[in-house]
Amino acid sequence: MRLSLIITTVLLIMTYSTAYALTAEQIIRKAEQAAYYAGDDGSSLARIIIVDQQGRKLMRQFSLLRKDVIENGQQTGQQNLLVMFSRPTDIKGTVFRVEKSNNIEQDDNRWLYLPGLDLVKRIAASDKRTSFVGSHFFYEDVSGRSTLLDNFELLDSSGENYLIKATPKQPESVEFSHYTVQIHKQNFIPVTIDYYNQDNKHYRRVEAIQIETLQNHPTVTRSKVSDLISGGYTLMEFRNVQYDIGLPDSLFSERSLRYPPSQWFK
């Protein structure tokens, strides 16, 4: 009788676990939320260290502001970002602005202000997977790739991470054939993202090197992108990360490209 009860209990637990198992799409959306939508807004100071295949280094320093679009108390998936560079001198005052869409039929809007030319340059959708200010990060890495652009398949969930394969819905629009992402089961932070080209060669990796819990939000404070073909890589480090600081909507405007408000960029 006791053995029968134990077996029945185990079967019930297994049935319950299977019924409530997360799908690949649910896992990916939780990962997107954890990586890009923690809090209603946020700010941080950051620097990127670019290392080429010969070991030569370049450094960029910037401030980042982010605010989610909230409607009826809920996040819509739309988001505004503003990035201003302070170092080195040759790119000081350069500003990157993003309006993220939540519609697969509408591309995110991205602009770059170049102070030396006093020029606002719109970044075309075809350029979103090009180098972010000379680094191994892409513009899309900084603002995030929409989960609506790919199909997802859960490959493995046996370890401490979920392993998911993503295949682009419009393969002609990107340089990769697919990528795999490992997502931590506890905090849903993407730990590694591995990209494969049309010849199925592993050519690029994005890694979360350091994760800290700040204001109850798991936060990547150090990440790395590696070019596995050339051997170069870029490190990105964040400090003074703050969430829910009450950024005004007016901050994320065309005017802020040329005249970024100094009180928010410290």
On whether the 24-264 domain is CATH 2.50.20.10, my answer is: yes
Sequence-distant (6+) residues with CB within 8 A of 29 are 147
Per-residue confidence in pLDDT tens, the chain, 266 aa = 454 555 544 444 443 444 358 999 999 999 999 999 999 999 999 999 999 999 999 999 999 999 998 877 777 778 999 999 999 999 999 999 999 887 766 788 999 999 999 999 999 888 899 999 999 999 999 989 989 899 999 999 999 999 999 999 999 999 999 999 999 999 999 999 999 999 999 999 999 999 999 999 999 999 999 999 999 999 999 999 999 999 999 999 989 999 988 888 76
pLDDT at residue number 130: 93
The predicted-structure confidence for 191-247, as pLDDT tens digits, reads as follows 999 999 999 999 999 999 999 999 999 999 999 999 999 999 999 999 999 999 999
* Alpha carbons 180 and 200: distance in angstroms, whole number: 12
Sequence-distant (6+) residues with CB within 8 A of 154 are 23, 24, 27, 162, 163, 164
